[in-house]
Amino acid sequence: MSDQPLLPHNVPPPAPRRGLILTTILVPVLLIAGIIFVAVKGEGVPKDDLGLAKYYLKSSPVIDGHIDLPEIPRMFYKNNVSAFDLNKKTVGHLDVPRIREGHLGGFFWSIYVDCHDGEYGDDFLNPTTEVRDTLEQIDVANNMIERYSDTFAHARTADEVEAAIKQGKVASLFGLEGGHSLGNSLAVLRTYYQLGIRYLTLTHSCNNAFADSAGVFGSVKEKWGGLSPLGKELIYELNRLGILVDISHVSDKTALQALSLTRAPVILSHSAARHFNENLQRNVPDTVLAKIGRGKHQVDGVIMVNFFPVFASPNPSEVDVAYIADEIEYIAKKTSKHHVGIGSDYDGIESTPKGLEDVSKYPNLWAELIRRGWTQNELSGLAGANFLRVLRGVESVSAKLKKDGKGPSYAIYDKRRDLDPVKPPY
Ligand SMILES: [Zn+2]
């Protein structure tokens, strides 16, 4: 973190979709870009690639789309966040010193609990503890942010992200990983929104009542052929609330249907490119990348690239900084440099690329991309400005839908019987 942190340079958004007024998005973005972007040139600029990487990152720190920090207390400390010290080296991929060393300016704390394929019953009606466990993980995140309030600041909006970075704090957003955490209920989603959830990964590695998953190491048998009827309502409700639709982890059909339905930009919070590892359905295919962009029939979005070598390559031992840079450049070639970001999956993966072993190593990736000719502006986009543009787009769509009087969806999962109206005599 620099002494006087600056904020990521922003980039113009794509043409709005479905009649949204251009000025609602473009004007604030350009104003912010004009106000906050300060080019770093001239004296004191390091000449070596790694020095320059750190210099750029000081003004535009990384906002990572997916870090599983709340899982560490759950796995190792029975969720007691006082049982380990984030100021010292942890068992995971981040702690306060490494966050500062790597110029991590913000991240989505993954609110994640395991899904269990085959344990839900054919209609996903078997009782589970997942809503309780999800609330526990939100509690863990809140407790950690409070315990380390000199380092972290909870952020719910793009403005709050920028304000946190300005104060030298790590902007802490909550992302919910998997529709299985919703207990089949849009009411639960709305309540999670109130608790700070700002993205929903439609599925984890299991199908759920809303959508089909891509599975992880083997594909799962499709249940809905993409989104279920309730899943289509879910997209509407996410757009209305202002929660990012995250299409990491989902089946191709789910992703394409979500893209055709959403009125707001989307993210892939932590996805590798299938081009590099075709066997893994969890990786984003070119057909989905083709739908992300500024053109006709495209949706604005950001693909935040996953670092897990096992996803990145059929030969994980070959994955290093240059390989991850290749993936970023491939995705940028298929979309543009305005649509790439970082979604490392740190603390949720068992191995890491050579040279990207933990959050202290982001500068190595920046140095590699500088060697390949990436400009400061382009790297600011990769770091976080692309993501902030997308988040602002989601916020604008939500505001417009609410202004237009769009109310909550009261759709319920049609397999549920517990809400059947009571018949007289009662
Ligand atoms: Zn994941």
Instruction: List, in sequence order, every residue forming a beta bridge with 299; answer none if it has no partner.
Output: 292
Measured from the Cβ of residue 44, the count of other Cβ atoms closer than 10 Å reads 7
Tokens read off for 178: 């998997």
Q: Measure the CA–CA gap between 178 and 205, rounded to whole angstroms.
A: 8
Confidence of residue 323 (pLDDT cuts 50, 70, 90): very high
The pLDDT tens digits for 341-380 are 999 999 999 999 999 999 999 999 999 999 999 999 999 9
Confidence of residue 293 (pLDDT cuts 50, 70, 90): very high
b/e sequence 303-321, b meaning 16+ C-beta within 10 Å: bbbbbbbbbbbeeeeebbb
d(CA 248, ligand 1 centre) in Å = 7
Helix (H) or strand (E) holding 98: helix 96-102
Q: Does 91 have pLDDT greater than 50?
A: yes
Confidence of residue 325 (pLDDT cuts 50, 70, 90): very high
The pLDDT tens digits for 55-78 are 999 999 999 999 999 999 999 999
Q: Does 322 have pLDDT greater than 50?
A: yes
d(CA 368, ligand 1 centre) in Å = 26
- Mean local confidence (pLDDT), 218-227: 91
What pLDDT does residue 33 have? 42
Q: Does 426 have pLDDT greater than 80?
A: no
What pLDDT does residue 208 have? 97
The pLDDT tens digits for 11-58 are 544 544 444 433 344 434 444 443 344 444 566 899 999 999 999 999
Active-site residue set: 66, 68, 177, 204, 249, 270, 345
d(CA 270, ligand 1 centre) in Å = 7
What pLDDT does residue 240 have? 98
Whether 191 and 138 have beta carbons less than 8 Å apart is answered as no
What pLDDT does residue 43 have? 67
Residue 191 DSSP label: H
What pLDDT does residue 219 have? 74
- Mean local confidence (pLDDT), 416-426: 88
d(CA 177, ligand 1 centre) in Å = 7
Q: Does 106 have pLDDT greater than 90?
A: yes
What pLDDT does residue 34 have? 38
What pLDDT does residue 218 have? 75
The pLDDT tens digits for 244-270 are 999 999 999 999 999 999 999 999 999
Read off the pTM.
Answer: 0.91
What pLDDT does residue 217 have? 81
Closest CA to 128 of 181, 192, 206: 181
Domains in the chain and their CATH numbers? 49-404 (3.20.20.140)
Q: Measure the CA–CA gap between 203 and 250, rounded to whole angstroms.
A: 6
d(CA 100, ligand 1 centre) in Å = 24
Q: Does 216 have pLDDT greater than 90?
A: no
- Mean pLDDT in the chain? 91
